[in-house]
Structure 1
Amino acid sequence: MSSMLNRFYERSALLNTLLNSNPAEAVKQARQINFDLDTGERFNLMGLRAAILVDGGALTGQQDAIEEGLMLFRDLHSSFPTAEVTYNLANGLIAATGFPPRNENWLSHQELSRERRAEARRCFWKVAQDVNADSALRTQAWTNLANQFSNSYRLGEAQDGWLAALKIDPENGVAASSAARNLLWLYERGGCSESTRIEALMLARIADRYRDRVIQYAGVQAAAQITAFACELEDPPPRDPHKNSFIDWLERERLTLAPAVELINPAMDKLDWLMLPGILERESGAAGIPPPVFAMFNMLKSDFILARDLLWRVIDENDWPATGRFGDTLDYATYGPDASALILAHRTALDLLDKIAVTANHYFELGLPPDKVYFGKLWRGIPDKVTGTRPLNAKVEQTIRGGVNALYGLVELAEDYDSIAGILRTQKDLRNAGTHRFVVLHDLGDPAQSRQAPEIEHHQREPFTQEVLRALRVTRSAIQMLALSISQHEQGLAQRTAGLVGSLLVPDHDLIRGHGEDT
């Protein structure tokens, strides 16, 4: 190892040690790093200075240091868009925006930091999806992306992200503790099953067991807080593996419609038991008939369950009708109802996003005709003539400021889905291809070697299957956010309504139909 590189590593170790003991001094010394050199050492020094300025600035509240470090990371990224630099750029963006306040200024903070947070999500997403990137970077990228989701009440997506981080590194106590806190918040809010708390306890044990990894990923100060949190909780009870392969698959892929992304209790009569809360009746003379939002929500669940069942049947390789005769295209393409079911499951899942928007438009009385409602467009108005940004729809903003914070999760999800640069845009493009053109799936070979036509998109079957799973999780999360938004709104109405308040509780459909005894 060269003496130049030795000096760099020594300096890096010294500054990182100082960062934990005296971050203000670390920032001071980082600013003394001279990287105005015409050598290969220049970029290493630039990266070191940027990292210490961002992390030290965040620890000491020096916004100018964070902004200086962020500018350096941007310069580095323009020349070396590697996974490591991309990850550091994302962290710099998040440090520059700061933590959202948990008070009446929360929405203002989210809107003012909207562009930087979206850029950070794109950077984290890029690193998390890069199978060639270092596993430590990928697990931290998933963790930090999930943290961003959580800050915007995208709680289902956040849980998926933390679990993805743990899949890469099962010792990632930072992801485990965040996931545990998320589940406990939902559990303590009410409406969750005991499985929610049990999984939170299991996750907390991971954070407690791997303290060194927590220090590696989050630093000494964060490790102390995480360890203190984990030590407050008792050990989880033992748990037997599932005997039913379908239930095992549902739990592994986290595809049940429950109030939280949680483990499955096979003793429960219904696995998809997410329900709307009691609703305050707004119309006189309704004669006790449930309002239309219940029918809408029931159909959202029904369509989701169907899409999920189609995917399971494809994966489980159940018998499909063999009535069709197909001409082989000699490119390893697969034809038949199983291939069509896979494509249909993807399309059905994502089509539900527009129906979620229709439901929100109706329930929150946003005022658009139902045939003019689109998930990607509902939440914001026309672009500002000066800034070019699209402000929140006035009624959407009023609803969120009234205490329905979970609605902002749908706003942000819509941007990631509809924006050209959004992290979920490929899902929308794939859905459009399956709706308006043809999608052909190949189980072998290179689809690029097929005869091409603009009317056809060729995809490998296994990666497409993973996209279907991702689409189902996105839709599951959106349905959960809708239910949480309605619950928050109903709580606010009850608090603001004078006198005795009676909510309309809706009976169980199976009981009314005579199919079961549970309510």
Structure 2
Amino acid sequence: MQPLSFEQLLNLDTTKHTDHEILDFIGELFDLALDNNDVRGIDKGIELASTLEYSNLSNQQQIFFNYYLANGWSSKRAFNRFQTTESWDFDQEELSKELFHLRSCISIEGFEEAQAELQCQIYTNLGNHFSHVGRFVEAQEYWNKALAVISYFPMALGNIGVGLFYYAGCLHIESHKNIFIHYAHGFLKKALALKKYLHPSASEPFKQLLNNIKGQWPKEFLNSNLNVAFDLGKNKQLREYREWGIENKLYLNPLNDIGALEISSHDCLHLPSMTVKLDATPKYHTLFNQIKQEYGTARFLYYEGTQLPKQSYSDKDVGLVDTLDYAEYSYNVEKVKIAYRLIFSLFDKIAYFLNEYLNIGMPKNKTSFRVLWHEEKKGRCLRSQFMGSKNLALRGLYWLSKDFFDKDHVHAIAIEPEAKELADIRNYIEHKSFKIKQYGNWGELEDDFTYSIGREEFEHKTLKQLKLVRAAIIYTSLAIHHEELGRKQKNTVPMYLPDMPYDYKR
């Protein structure tokens, strides 16, 4: 069949074509819309998508369907909002739809068998989306997933560089900023060394940013071999714990997002400098200390429960009956369950912090991470405190909140696919019957009474939530930094809070 022109595609009669042909037309329309700078192609492609019978498509075709639509909504956002004040809106239909379709791609059975380049592009686009909405910590994971498929994929390399550059702009530790810039420079150079594989629309921005970096930082620094070594300790157990922590990017240290750097093997993240009244108590630092300590405890409990599978002598005295269904009960299992509960409680403590700091006005006994962002009245519109905000890390927290199950479906379109299951697990651990099994079915409700899940799957979900709350804690610190920079400066008296000695911890 002869290729159709842009105008022919805009006036397409779908009754004369199969679903498979229409799928190809959707991809062509989105490409031609950009080439012709004509948003009509985007609207027509989205319209055509609604006429398809999705269930008639094979799994691989469904991946392409969602990939095309994610690109379409991304392009529509560019047409509607590029370089406008609306580009900073926390709520954007285009962003929600784009995320929905990108996540749909990777959740389809057989995604790992899709073309390697397609997998890389989808992972890269997910990283770009996360970085754009302010979830720049998590963006790194998606770009690195692309590199795990093709280690030299230039779009992922370049966007890691871009992401690190803008991440650096949110930091409040100057030495960390410089290290981020050094690595951003390196990734951009790697991407541009593969320029022949890049579209000019990508290579030019990479080149401009690289030149910008070269113009602001000394050449000797950018081309040097940074010393990121750090003494992990002489104690073998401590070294192994720290190595595991940096490998899994679990330290409250932004440098850990660059990679498994030894220098990132400590939780050095604190609140930024803050301006408060002279008679104010250090209430924000008190709560942030609590959040950090509880996070560190959850991390170590998870480590002990999964990486040090020694039997505990305390279990000798706990007599149980064998229910003959391969259920597992042990001190180590309980450590992971405690970690899971701790993790979920930390999100609400972050909401409690933000409610007070941003003067949101929610009753203290009703604050939660899910409901912080919207008015309680009918319609649940975004609170005025967040409208017009250009606080990237705060926007990241808002978009992270979309990944929590909300019975009112405020975030239904962009919700994390596992959100309801994760909420159910917490509910059953806290209040109902919950069982971890070595074999058999898992992730299901047995006899409408007990939630059952496999041990490996539960540990995987707990680690995922551990990484999520780590990102949220980092966003919180950086969001406060942005807010403090925007506050009117008055005559102040500096006050320094010293580090708490290790010996104080008993």
TM-score (structure 2 length as normaliser): 0.82
What are the superposed Cα offsets for residues 113-132 of structure 1, whole Å, 9 maximum, x if unpaired?
2x342232122112223451
Q: Give the letter for the 1:174 counterpart.
A: M
Counterpart of 2:127 in structure 1 is 146
State the SS of the aligned residue for 1:439: strand
Q: Give the letter for the 1:437 counterpart.
A: K
Counterpart of 2:429 in structure 1 is 434
Instruction: Quote how far apart the aligned CAs of 1:140 are.
Output: 2.4
Whether the 8 Å contact between 1:33 and 1:49 is mirrored in structure 2 is no
Give me the whole-angstrom Cα distance separating, in 2, the residues matched to 1:168 and 1:383.
Answer: 47
Counterpart of 1:179 in structure 2 is 160
What are the superposed Cα offsets for residues 244-289 of structure 1, whole Å, 9 maximum, x if unpaired?
4333322332111113523354356x611111111101x3434xx5
For the structure 1 residues 510 and 241, does the alpha-carbon distance in structure 2 shift closer, same or farther, using more than 3 Å as the test? closer
Query: Are residues 1:74 and 2:50 paired?
Result: yes
For the structure 1 residues 267 and 87, does the alpha-carbon distance in structure 2 shift closer, same or farther, using more than 3 Å as the test? closer
Pick one of 168, 172, 175 that aligns with 2:149.
168
Give me the whole-angstrom Cα distance separating, in 2, the residues matched to 1:344 and 1:58.
Answer: 51
Give the paired residue count.
467
Counterpart of 1:45 in structure 2 is 21
What are the superposed Cα offsets for residues 18-70 of structure 1, whole Å, 9 maximum, x if unpaired?
xxxxxxxx7446547765436xxx33432232212213323443112111112
Counterpart of 2:96 in structure 1 is 118
Pick one of 362, 369, 382 that aligns with 1:392.
382
Give me the whole-angstrom Cα distance separating, in 2, the residues matched to 1:198 and 1:427.
Answer: 38
Pick one of 341, 352, 358 that aligns with 1:347.
341
Give me the whole-angstrom Cα distance separating, in 2, the residues matched to 1:480 and 1:241.
Answer: 23
Counterpart of 1:335 in structure 2 is 329
**1:183-202 pair list within 5 angstroms:** 183-190=164-171, 191=173, 193=176, 195-202=179-186
Query: Are residues 1:407 and 2:391 paired?
Result: no
For the structure 1 residues 50 and 237, does the alpha-carbon distance in structure 2 shift closer, same or farther, using more than 3 Å as the test? same
Query: Are residues 1:137 and 2:127 paired?
Result: no
Counterpart of 2:217 in structure 1 is none
Instruction: Quote how far apart the aligned CAs of 1:163 are.
Output: 2.2
Give me the whole-angstrom Cα distance separating, in 1, the residues matched to 2:40 and 2:372.
Answer: 37
Give me the whole-angstrom Cα distance separating, in 2, the residues matched to 1:484 and 1:491.
Answer: 11
Give me the whole-angstrom Cα distance separating, in 1, the residues matched to 2:431 and 2:76.
Answer: 42
Structure 2 unaligned regions, length at least 5? 215-221, 233-238
Whether the 8 Å contact between 1:439 and 1:457 is mirrored in structure 2 is yes
Q: Give the letter for the 1:409 counterpart.
A: G
State the SS of the aligned residue for 2:434: strand
Instruction: Quote how far apart the aligned CAs of 1:346 are.
Output: 1.9
Give me the whole-angstrom Cα distance separating, in 1, the residues matched to 2:228 and 2:497.
Answer: 34
For the structure 1 residues 271 and 125, does the alpha-carbon distance in structure 2 shift closer, same or farther, using more than 3 Å as the test? same
Q: Give the letter for the 1:326 counterpart.
A: L
Give me the whole-angstrom Cα distance separating, in 1, the residues matched to 2:495 and 2:121.
Answer: 45
Q: Give the letter for the 2:272 counterpart.
A: P
State the SS of the aligned residue for 1:347: helix
Whether the 8 Å contact between 1:195 and 1:264 is mirrored in structure 2 is no
Whether the 8 Å contact between 2:435 and 2:451 is mirrored in structure 1 is yes
Instruction: Quote how far apart the aligned CAs of 1:382 are.
Output: 3.6
Over aligned residues, Cα RMSD in angstroms?
3.2
Q: Give the letter for the 1:412 counterpart.
A: W
Whether the 8 Å contact between 1:195 and 1:262 is mirrored in structure 2 is no
The range that moved more, 186-195 or 146-155, is: 186-195
What are the superposed Cα offsets for residues 275-332 of structure 1, whole Å, 9 maximum, x if unpaired?
1111101x3434xx5x201011111111111111112112322534132333333233
Instruction: Quote how far apart the aligned CAs of 1:229 are.
Output: 4.8
State the SS of the aligned residue for 2:501: helix
Counterpart of 1:18 in structure 2 is none
For the structure 1 residues 33 and 393, does the alpha-carbon distance in structure 2 shift closer, same or farther, using more than 3 Å as the test? closer
The range that moved more, 334-343 or 404-413, is: 404-413
Whether the 8 Å contact between 2:246 and 2:261 is mirrored in structure 1 is no
Query: Are residues 1:263 and 2:259 paired?
Result: yes
Q: Give the letter for the 1:411 counterpart.
A: Y
**1:244-393 pair list within 5 angstroms:** 244-259=239-254, 261-267=257-263, 271-281=266-276, 283-286=277-280, 289=281, 291-322=282-313, 323=315, 324-382=318-376, 384=378, 388=379, 390-393=380-383
Give me the whole-angstrom Cα distance separating, in 2, the residues matched to 1:151 and 1:124.
Answer: 14
Counterpart of 1:87 in structure 2 is 67
Structure 1 unaligned regions, length at least 5? 1-6, 16-25
Query: Are residues 1:237 and 2:225 paired?
Result: yes
State the SS of the aligned residue for 1:417: coil
Whether the 8 Å contact between 1:279 and 1:503 is mirrored in structure 2 is no
Q: Give the letter for the 1:262 counterpart.
A: I
Give me the whole-angstrom Cα distance separating, in 2, the residues matched to 1:37 and 1:441.
Answer: 54
Query: Are residues 1:461 and 2:439 paired?
Result: no
Pick one of 181, 187, 193 that aligns with 1:203.
187
Pick one of 463, 473, 483 that aligns with 2:467.
473
TM-score (structure 1 length as normaliser): 0.80
Give me the whole-angstrom Cα distance separating, in 1, the residues matched to 2:210 and 2:154.
Answer: 10
What are the superposed Cα offsets for residues 97-141 of structure 1, whole Å, 9 maximum, x if unpaired?
227556644334x43x2x342232122112223451114433322
The percentage of aligned residue pairs carrying the same residue is 22
Counterpart of 1:20 in structure 2 is none
Q: Give the letter for the 1:93 counterpart.
A: W
What are the superposed Cα offsets for residues 385-432 of structure 1, whole Å, 9 maximum, x if unpaired?
xxx4x21122343xx53x434222222221221335311523333322
For the structure 1 residues 199 and 440, does the alpha-carbon distance in structure 2 shift closer, same or farther, using more than 3 Å as the test? farther
Instruction: Quote how far apart the aligned CAs of 1:239 are.
Output: 7.8
Whether the 8 Å contact between 1:143 and 1:165 is mirrored in structure 2 is yes
Instruction: Quote how far apart the aligned CAs of 1:162 are.
Output: 1.9
Instruction: Quote how far apart the aligned CAs of 1:209 are.
Output: 4.6
Q: Give the letter for the 2:472 counterpart.
A: A
